[in-house]
């Protein structure tokens, strides 16, 4: 009969979404980590996930006594990066830094994806979560969300919106907006938000949801109108900007970046990492860096049960949105 300790470990692994019990070869000692920890990022240097991995790595290295290094594996919306982590040794020394794309979006768009994020990976820590912004060209006759809804209803498919591509956050965020308001707008996909913003500035498209760092310089210069943020509450750095939620009670769309480990990673390693991450995220230096991206690290995500439930819900919610909107991959 299995020991009480073995049963407890198995239950912990199931709660973390693991599909395999860690073998003795990966058993952790109290000295974890024992070597350099590699943080795999599915985008080039300079992007939000890369930025977050580096600032947290700088804090975690001294705290845990080992170096934390970034390994950039850009391409295919982060899927190769995720696949490489899934196939790595589940010992806590290889982690994935990812937003929704490779976890909650692409698995619904590609039938031949090589991993299942819900069984092959387990969340370790929330690095940061934040708002997108809803911006419009100055010629758009809407000063707020309510007026934009009325305008969109008056001309079905008449307004065009841009995004960084099919299945991007901007695309899904706008489709959620349309589904909740009963409106239709025409989607114009681009190869990145930067190209979309250029056409928005030129008046070739009318509106878009995008990251604050992409749009705010043009908002401050008066070249774009800022209508709302996508978090449930207003953003502290933009207190006068309403949340879409104030008009649409069921609307919330978070941009988030999390650390994931292979599902069979021992709970002891995950707890060590999570504790270090949760201590780092409340330091003034990290808080300041998060504010640069209009992000924060909400306290509720320090609880592992909340983290697991959030990932599960995001995967299900975005999957339903993709199916309901008929979104297809571009490949």
pLDDT digits (tens, 9 = 90+) for 236-293: 889 999 999 999 999 999 999 999 999 999 999 999 999 999 999 989 999 888 887 7
State the DSSP string of 41-108: ESS-TTSHHHHHHHHHHHHHHHHHTS-EEEEE--SGGGHHHHHHHHTS-SSSSEEEEE-HIIIIIHHH
186-189 and 160-163: which strand pairing?
A: parallel
Flag whether 9 is in a domain. no
Residue 105 sits in the same domain as residue 165: no
Residues of the chain short of pLDDT 50, as ranges, are: 1-29
State the CB neighbour count (10 A cutoff) for residue 313. Answer: 11
Residue 115 sits in the same domain as residue 264: yes
Given a contact cutoff of 8 angstroms between Cβ atoms, the answer to whether 243 and 234 are in contact is yes
Residue 55 sits in the same domain as residue 97: yes
Taking the whole predicted model, whether its pTM rises above 0.75 is answered as yes
What is residue 213's predicted lDDT score, i.e. its pLDDT? 85
Residue 185 sits in the same domain as residue 197: yes
Flag whether 141 is in a domain. yes
What is residue 6's predicted lDDT score, i.e. its pLDDT? 43
State the CB neighbour count (10 A cutoff) for residue 142. Answer: 18
Residue 165 sits in the same domain as residue 206: yes
Average pLDDT, the chain: 89
What is residue 13's predicted lDDT score, i.e. its pLDDT? 42
Residue 163 sits in the same domain as residue 210: yes
What is residue 39's predicted lDDT score, i.e. its pLDDT? 98
Flag whether 12 is in a domain. no
Flag whether 21 is in a domain. no
What is residue 328's predicted lDDT score, i.e. its pLDDT? 87
Residue 139 sits in the same domain as residue 73: no
Q: Residue 236 is part of a domain; what is its CATH number?
A: 3.40.190.10
Given a contact cutoff of 8 angstroms between Cβ atoms, the answer to whether 140 and 206 are in contact is yes
Among 219, 246, 273, give the residue marking a domain's end.
246
Residue 280 sits in the same domain as residue 302: yes
CA 13 to chain centre: 24
What is residue 16's predicted lDDT score, i.e. its pLDDT? 40
Residue 227 sits in the same domain as residue 144: yes
The boundaries of the domain holding residue 156 are 133-246
* CA angle centred on 254, ends 250 and 257, rounded to 5°: 155
Residue 124 sits in the same domain as residue 261: yes
Question: Which residues are bridge partners to 37 per DSSP?
Answer: 68
The whole-angstrom separation of Cα 97 and Cα 309 is 18
Residue 180 CB burial class (10 angstroms; 0-12, 13-18, ≥19): middle
Residue 122 sits in the same domain as residue 266: yes
Among 269, 225, 239, residue whose Cα is nearest residue 30: 269
Flag whether 93 is in a domain. yes
The count of structural domains within the chain is 2
Flag whether 13 is in a domain. no
Residue 89 sits in the same domain as residue 238: no
Flag whether 25 is in a domain. no
What is residue 296's predicted lDDT score, i.e. its pLDDT? 85
């Amino acid at each position: 009969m299995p020991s009480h300790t073995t049963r407890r470990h198995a239950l912990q692994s199931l709660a973390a979404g693991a599909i395999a019990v860690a073998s003795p070869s990966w058993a952790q000692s109290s000295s974890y980590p024992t070597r350099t920890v590699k943080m795999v990022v599915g985008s080039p240097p300079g992007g939000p996930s890369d930025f977050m991995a580096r600032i947290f790595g700088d804090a975690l290295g001294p705290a845990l006594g080992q170096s934390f290094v970034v390994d950039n594996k850009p391409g295919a919306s982060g899927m190769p990066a995720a696949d490489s982590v899934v196939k790595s040794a589940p010992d806590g020394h290889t982690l994935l830094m990812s937003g929704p794309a490779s976890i909650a979006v692409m698995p619904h768009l590609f039938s031949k994806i090589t991993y299942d994020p819900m069984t092959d990976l387990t969340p370790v820590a929330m690095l940061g979560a934040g708002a997108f912004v809803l911006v419009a060209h100055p010629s758009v006759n809407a000063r707020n969300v309510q007026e934009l809804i009325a305008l969109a209803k008056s001309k079905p498919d008449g307004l065009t919106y841009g995004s960084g591509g099919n299945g991007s956050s901007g695309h899904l965020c706008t489709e959620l907006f349309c589904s909740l308001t009963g409106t239709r707008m025409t989607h114009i996909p681009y190869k990145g938000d930067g190209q979309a913003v250029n056409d928005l500035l030129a008046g070739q498209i009318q509106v878009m949801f995008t990251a604050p760092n992409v749009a705010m310089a043009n908002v401050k210069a008066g070249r774009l109108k800022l209508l709302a943020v996508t978090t449930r509450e207003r953003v502290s750095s933009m207190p006068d900007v309403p949340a879409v939620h104030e008009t649409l009670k069921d609307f919330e769309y978070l941009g988030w970046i999390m650390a994931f480990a292979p599902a069979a990673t021992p709970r002891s390693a995950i707890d060590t990492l999570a504790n270090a991450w949760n201590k780092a995220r409340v330091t003034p230096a990290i808080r300041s860096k998060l504010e640069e991206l209009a992000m924060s690290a909400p306290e509720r995500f320090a609880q592992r049960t909340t983290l697991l439930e959030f990932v599960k819900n995001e995967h299900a919610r975005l999957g339903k949105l993709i199916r309901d909107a008929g979104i297809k991959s571009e490949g």
